[in-house]
Structure 1
Amino acid sequence: MNYQLDGKFISKVGKDGNGELEFNYPWGITIDEFNGDVYICDESNNRIQILSENLHYKSQFGKDILTKPLDIKLNRDNIFILDESNPCLHIFNRHLVLQKNIISRGKGQQVISPWFFFLDNSDNILISDYGSNSIHIFNSKYECIQAISIPNPRGITVDDKDRIIVVSKASKNCLQIF
Structure 2
Amino acid sequence: MNPNETLQLYQNKGQVKKCFGTEGNGAGEMILPHGISSTASDDIVVADCGNNRIQIFDVNGQVKGAFGSGGSAEGQFAGVFDVCVTSRGHIVASDTGNNRIQVFDEQGKFVREFGREESGPEWRDGELSGPQGVATDDRGQIYVCDKWNDRVQVFSEDGKFVRKFGFGTLSRPNYLSVTYYGAVVVSDWVGNRVPIFDGVGNGSSVIGIEEFHFNDPQGIATDQHGHIILCDGGSNQVQVFRPDTGELVCRFGSGMHKPQGVCVLSDGGIAVCDRDHHRVVIF
**What TM-score do you get using the length of structure 1 for normalisation?**
0.88
Give the unaligned 5+ runs of structure 2.
1-101
RMSD of equivalent CA atoms: 1.8
1:120 to 212, 223, 226: 223
Kindly, what percent of the aligned residue pairs are identical? 24
More helix by share: 2
Q: Is the 8 A contact 2:137 2:182 kept in 1?
A: no
State the one-letter code of the partner of 2:243: S
Q: Which moved more, 1:76-85 or 1:39-48?
A: 76-85
**Structure 2 CA distance for aligned equivalents of residues 42 and 22 of structure 1:** 9
Q: Which has the larger radius of gyration?
A: 2
Residues 5 and 114 from structure 1, CA distance in 2 versus in 1: closer, same or farther, beyond 3 angstroms?
Answer: same
SS of structure 1 residue aligned to 2:158: coil
- 1:162 and 2:268 matched: yes
Structural mapping, 1:1-178, within 5 Å: 1-16=102-117, 18-33=123-138, 35-75=139-179, 76-104=181-209, 107-141=210-244, 142-148=246-252, 149=254, 150-170=256-276, 172-178=277-283
Residues 37 and 130 from structure 1, CA distance in 2 versus in 1: closer, same or farther, beyond 3 angstroms?
Answer: same
More strand by share: 1
**Structure 1 CA distance for aligned equivalents of residues 109 and 269 of structure 2:** 33
Residues 9 and 159 from structure 1, CA distance in 2 versus in 1: closer, same or farther, beyond 3 angstroms?
Answer: closer
Q: How many residues end up aligned between the 2 structures? A: 174
The ranges of structure 1 where at least 4 consecutive aligned residues each deviate by more than 3 angstroms after the TM superposition are: none
Cα distance per residue 1:39-66 (max 9 Å; x no partner): 1110001011111222111221111111
Residues 19 and 127 from structure 1, CA distance in 2 versus in 1: closer, same or farther, beyond 3 angstroms?
Answer: same
Give the unaligned 5+ runs of structure 1.
none
**What TM-score do you get using the length of structure 2 for normalisation?**
0.57
